[in-house]
């Protein structure tokens, strides 16, 4: 009895020694991280190495612990003498390894995604919202990691997953046919998120005529707020196939064209000088104008009642164009009136012809006969 007890104690002591050795290895890895790797990583300029190395450190530490548990339990005579226990131990540790790798993969991807979003917000074009992209990517990868992990665990537990895969393929085909429009809008939303022809807050114009500010880019439709403060909901599939004019790309700075016309007897050079002078004054007064822009006047054509020209101004922000054009029209009208420059309006001349003498005689003769 004492020999049996002594043998069991030695067996447990050996298993505990093995586990303690692996715990010591965990401690050494921890100390090596704190004294060597962590100060080195802190000195680097990018934070991407932190995102990648921290999960790898967790993988090494917890991996050492799992190995220690595996070797310590496998060293017990009671476990070695029972093949069923060994099989159960292998399956349990295999499931633990799968869960560990899934957790590390999720941490790595989540960290990289967070790093990408922070850097995108710090760039000059960082005002363009990328949160919806990050949210979708995080959810998609979480589902993928979970699905792969569950299937791998079922396979390790010797569960036949062929019916699941076959049923999933058939069910996926049926769902795809039933949700054809929804999936079309969904993948169009992915295209909009990756290619980024527009972003929340941009002012766009579609080939169908709708124009307004992008309020929200969803995974099924996009909402555009018109000038009248109404919301137009556009399916992503139609939006991705439409010709889009984005007034915020490549930047908001844009030219403003103001058309006008003067009488034929005007001094065109004088008109041009006055228009440029007024444009400079107005651009100095309206906040948001591009002050380094030199206004330009270009003559267009000999119209029906006036010689037309366009004055080209420039603004730094999209919404300023309307205020600038309004102030310029008022200022130019006052200045032209002061300078005696005529802005003609359409005139229609009606010429009335007298009837021919023969026609008059026939009309008088008819009146005599009727009387």
Residue pLDDT, tens place only, 10-69: 767 777 787 788 778 778 877 777 666 666 666 666 666 666 677 777 777 777 777 777
The number of C-alpha atoms within 13 Å of 357 and in the hemisphere containing its C-beta is 0
User: In 207-315, where does DSSP find H-type helix?
Assistant: 236-241, 268-285
Highest mean pLDDT pick, 32-41, 157-166, 212-221: 212-221
Q: Tell me what pLDDT residue 126 has.
A: 46
The residues, any chain, with a CB within 8 Å of residue 227's CB and separated by 6 or more, are 211, 212
Distance CA 22, CA 38 (A): 22
Fold of 189-246: SH3 type barrels. (2.30.30)
pLDDT reading at 164 higher than 60 = no
Mean pLDDT, residues 127-154: 64
Identify any residues that bridge with 257 across adjacent strands, giving them in sequence order. Answer: 312
**What does pLDDT average to over the chain?**
75
Is residue 274 classed as helix, strand or coil in its secondary structure? Answer: helix
Mean pLDDT, residues 103-123: 69
Buried b (16+ CB within 10 A) or exposed e, 197-222: ebbbebbbebeeeeebbbeebebbbb
Distance CA 29, CA 35 (A): 10
pLDDT bucket at 127, cuts 50 / 70 / 90: very low
Q: How many CB atoms lie within 10 A of CB 281?
A: 15
Q: Tell me what pLDDT residue 111 has.
A: 73
Residue 237, burial from CB neighbour count under 10 angstroms (0-12, 13-18, 19+): buried
pLDDT reading at 311 higher than 90 = yes
Distance, C-alpha 370 to centroid of its chain: 86
Is residue 320 classed as helix, strand or coil in its secondary structure? Answer: helix
- Higher-confidence residue of 55 and 248: namely 248
Q: Tell me what pLDDT residue 279 has.
A: 92
pTM metric for this prediction: 0.48
Q: Tell me what pLDDT residue 163 has.
A: 58
Distance CA 212, CA 18 (A): 69
pLDDT reading at 284 higher than 70 = yes
Distance CA 280, CA 295 (A): 7
Residue spans per domain, the chain:
2-159, 189-246, 254-339
Q: Tell me what pLDDT residue 252 has.
A: 80
- Say what percent of the chain tops pLDDT 70: 63
Q: Tell me what pLDDT residue 200 has.
A: 81
Q: Tell me what pLDDT residue 5 has.
A: 47
Q: Tell me what pLDDT residue 180 has.
A: 57
| The residue to which tokens 């444009």 are assigned | 279
Q: Tell me what pLDDT residue 346 has.
A: 76
Q: Tell me what pLDDT residue 330 has.
A: 93
Cβ proximity of 261 and 342 under 8 Å: no
Distance, C-alpha 369 to centroid of its chain: 88
Q: Tell me what pLDDT residue 124 has.
A: 47
Cα dihedral 158, 163, 168, 170, rounded to 10, equals 160
| CATH architecture, domain 254-339 | 2-Layer Sandwich (3.30)
| The residue to which tokens 């890895």 are assigned | 29
pLDDT bucket at 131, cuts 50 / 70 / 90: low
Q: Tell me what pLDDT residue 313 has.
A: 93
pLDDT bucket at 212, cuts 50 / 70 / 90: confident
Buried b (16+ CB within 10 A) or exposed e, 71-106: ebbbbbeebeeeeeeeeebeeebbebbbebbbbbbb
Element (H, E) at 73: helix 48-74
pLDDT bucket at 337, cuts 50 / 70 / 90: very high
């Amino acid at each position: 009895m004492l020999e049996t007890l002594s043998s069991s104690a030695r067996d447990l002591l050996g298993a505990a020694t093995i586990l303690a050795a692996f715990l010591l290895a965990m401690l050494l890895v921890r100390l090596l991280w704190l004294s060597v790797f962590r100060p080195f990583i802190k000195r680097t300029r990018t934070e991407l190495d932190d995102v990648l190395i921290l999960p790898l450190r967790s993988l090494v530490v917890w991996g050492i612990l799992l190995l220690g548990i595996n070797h310590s339990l496998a060293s017990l005579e009671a476990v070695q003498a029972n093949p069923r226990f060994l099989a159960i131990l292998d399956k349990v540790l295999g499931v633990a390894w799968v869960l560990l790798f899934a957790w590390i993969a999720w941490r790595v991807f989540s960290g990289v995604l967070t790093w990408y979003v922070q850097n995108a917000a710090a760039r000059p074009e960082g005002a363009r919202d990328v949160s919806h992209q990050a949210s979708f990517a995080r959810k998609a990868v979480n589902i993928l990691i979970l699905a792969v992990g569950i299937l791998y665990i079922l396979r390790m537990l010797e569960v036949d997953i062929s019916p699941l895969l076959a049923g999933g393929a058939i069910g996926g085909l049926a769902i795809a046919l039933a949700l054809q429009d929804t999936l079309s809008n969904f993948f169009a939303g992915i295209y909009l998120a990756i290619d980024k022809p527009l972003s929340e807050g941009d002012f766009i114009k579609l080939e169908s005529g709708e124009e307004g500010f992008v309020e929200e880019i969803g995974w099924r439709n996009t909402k555009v707020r018109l000038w009248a403060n109404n919301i137009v909901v556009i399916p992503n599939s139609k939006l991705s196939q439409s010709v889009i004019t984005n007034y915020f790309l490549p930047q908001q700075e844009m030219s403003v064209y103001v058309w006008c016309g003067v009488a034929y007897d005007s001094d065109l050079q004088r008109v041009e000088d006055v228009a440029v002078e007024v444009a400079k004054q107005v651009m100095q007064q309206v906040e948001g104008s591009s002050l380094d822009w030199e206004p330009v006047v270009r003559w267009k054509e000999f119209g029906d009642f006036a010689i037309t020209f366009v004055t080209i101004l420039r603004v730094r922000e999209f919404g300023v164009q309307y205020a600038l054009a309004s102030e310029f029209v008022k200022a130019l009208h006052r200045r032209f009136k002061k300078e005696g420059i005529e802005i003609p309006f359409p005139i229609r001349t009606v010429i009335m012809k007298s009837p021919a003498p023969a026609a008059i005689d026939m009309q008088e003769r008819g009146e005599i006969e009727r009387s």
